[in-house]
Structure 1
Amino acid sequence: MTFSIVGYDPKEKEWGVAVQSKFLGVGAVVPFAKAGIGVVATQSYANTAYGPEAFQLFSEGKLAEEVIEMITSRDEDKDLRQVGVIDANGNAASFTGEKCYDWAGGIVGEHFAAQGNILVDEQTVQAMAKTFQETSGTLAERLLAALNAGQEAGGDSRGQQSAALLVVKEAGGYGGYNDRFIDLRVDDHPEPIKELIRVFGLQQLYFAPAKPDRMATIEGHVKEELVAHLRRHGYLELYVDEESIHKALTRYIHTENFEARELERGKIDLDVLDYMKKQ
């Protein structure tokens, strides 16, 4: 009743999983990931003990294929399970039990494993694998593109309900205090993957650093637009000087939680200005 893809980015040292299911809150059940250790997607009568068990084995130096064999061999109901894993070195493996409901199966490639059950047909995992391999961008972008391609190819034969994206990297979480680089869930929605992609766009807007080519000096046309929209949103009075603009913009940024996009005095991230215009 689920399809997922686990992936690894060797350059950025990121591990991640994207998943969709005709199931409420799939993000609370399927994805497990730990920076420097590995990633797990457990589904089809999911055994959530697979996550912690796999992490323990990964930390002992076991490889993906070994871990799959070990965690399933001691599970009496392994024939009902499906699981995809990637170890600390990016090796991937996937397992589909013999009693998983058709269509069920998976594809393993370099730094990814795509798997699903109760699918329309095998084209869902084929589309995920192909898209992940051919798509450029960040690990999160590639995982989402693959998940969306899987849905477009057929997806879960029962329909859609929830989706999730989890990506970890060392000190990648908020404030650098944990490894939860991206952790997003859509628990109940008629088109959960499209909604997850929309929410991911917001996550990038709020928390990704400003791009150099989107940093602008507050002058000329940029200044005119900024002043107009700060006034429209009630942050700036009629009297305008450099100090009042700076204070108004700072107040706006802190109110809207754009601290990650805050630049030095006299500059603005144009993505923030674009968001301001659309409000």
Structure 2
Amino acid sequence: MTYTLLARCPKTGEVGIGIATYSICVGLYCNGLRGNVGAAMTQAFVNQGNNTLALNLLAQGFSPAHVLDELKANDPDAEYRQIAIIGHDGQAVGYSGAKTRAWSGHVVGDGYVSMGNVLAGKHVVEAMARAYEAASAESFDRRLLGAIEAGRDAGGQVGNEGHLTERSAAVRVFGEHDHAELDLRVDLHDRAVDELRRAFEEYELYRGYYRDRGKDPRNAISQAEFVARLARKEAAQ
């Protein structure tokens, strides 16, 4: 009961994930991102160890297709998993196990995988793929967030008793550093994708300030003053 867009940005080389689900705390399980190496995500019936193993194999130079074969061979319950893997050069592969819950499937595009399970239908992952491709002029993180919004708007998750709301969501991006370039998550909310958008837009206002005060702490203004300046700017608009 999850839908995901895993991708590598062809402009920046960053790797990232946009994900939304009825399950809670989904950001905890998005540990398969490593700058200059690639990205991996296992969902449906989660096996977090897959993500770490995939990154380690990618770092050794194995192709995403080979890594996927290794993950399946190493997991007796592979048919319950849904997996996406992207290499440092944008090669992408996807897998939807036969025992993941319907509708389950994926679309592989140029440098990305759109996948999901317990969805309203294939059109959900197709809508995510279209949204991601159509937003090529936007920043990578906005493309990821826009993709999961498109998945939600296309019908999102549908279980045996009808539509399932998104209770957690996350956008994570890694680049050339060991730390994340962006790590935003909503762990429990009845409109998690909307709440993630709200947090994203608010953080965008602070992003440059947080970066600059770390680079030049001696001349950085206080956060209280920064907030006051934001308020004055908004009032003047």
Change (3 A) 1:95 1:60: same
DSSP 3-state at the match of 1:102: coil
Code of the residue aligned with 1:164 in structure 2: it is A
Structure-2 residue corresponding to 1:169: 175
Runs of at least 4 residues off by over 3 Å: 256-259, 270-273
Matches of 1:258 and 1:25 in 2, distance apart?
Answer: 31
Asked whether the 8 Å contact 1:167–1:181 carries over to 2, the reply is yes
Q: Which has the larger radius of gyration?
A: 1
Asked whether the 8 Å contact 1:107–1:126 carries over to 2, the reply is yes
TM-score (normalised: structure 2): 0.87
Is the aligned partner of 1:254 residue 2:213?
Answer: no
Code of the residue aligned with 1:170 in structure 2: it is E
TM-score (normalised: structure 1): 0.74
Change (3 A) 1:58 1:258: farther
Matches of 1:10 and 1:144 in 2, distance apart?
Answer: 17
Asked whether the 8 Å contact 1:84–1:113 carries over to 2, the reply is yes
Return 5+ residue gaps in structure 2 as ranges. Answer: 159-163, 211-218
Structure-2 residue corresponding to 1:93: 93
Structure-2 residue corresponding to 1:180: 180
Asked whether the 8 Å contact 1:207–1:258 carries over to 2, the reply is no
Structure-2 residue corresponding to 1:112: 112
Cα displacement (A) at 1:190: 1.2
Code of the residue aligned with 2:223 in structure 1: it is T
Asked whether the 8 Å contact 1:17–1:40 carries over to 2, the reply is no
Asked whether the 8 Å contact 2:31–2:48 carries over to 1, the reply is no
Asked whether the 8 Å contact 1:6–1:112 carries over to 2, the reply is yes
Cα displacement (A) at 1:272: 6.8
Cα displacement (A) at 1:82: 0.4
Cα displacement (A) at 1:183: 0.3
Code of the residue aligned with 2:153 in structure 1: it is E
**Which digits, 9 at most, give the CA deviation of each residue in 1:226-264, with x for residues without a partner?**
xxxxxxxxxxxxxxxxxxxxxxxx89x4133859xxxxx
Structure-2 residue corresponding to 1:152: 153
Asked whether the 8 Å contact 1:132–1:145 carries over to 2, the reply is yes
Matches of 2:101 and 2:147 in 1, distance apart?
Answer: 22
Structure-2 residue corresponding to 1:61: 61
Return 5+ residue gaps in structure 1 as ranges. Answer: 172-177, 211-249, 260-269
Q: Percent identity between the aligned chains?
A: 29
DSSP 3-state at the match of 1:185: strand
Matches of 2:27 and 2:12 in 1, distance apart?
Answer: 23
Structure-2 residue corresponding to 1:74: 74
Matches of 1:36 and 1:145 in 2, distance apart?
Answer: 24
Structure-2 residue corresponding to 1:274: 233
Matches of 1:166 and 1:35 in 2, distance apart?
Answer: 12
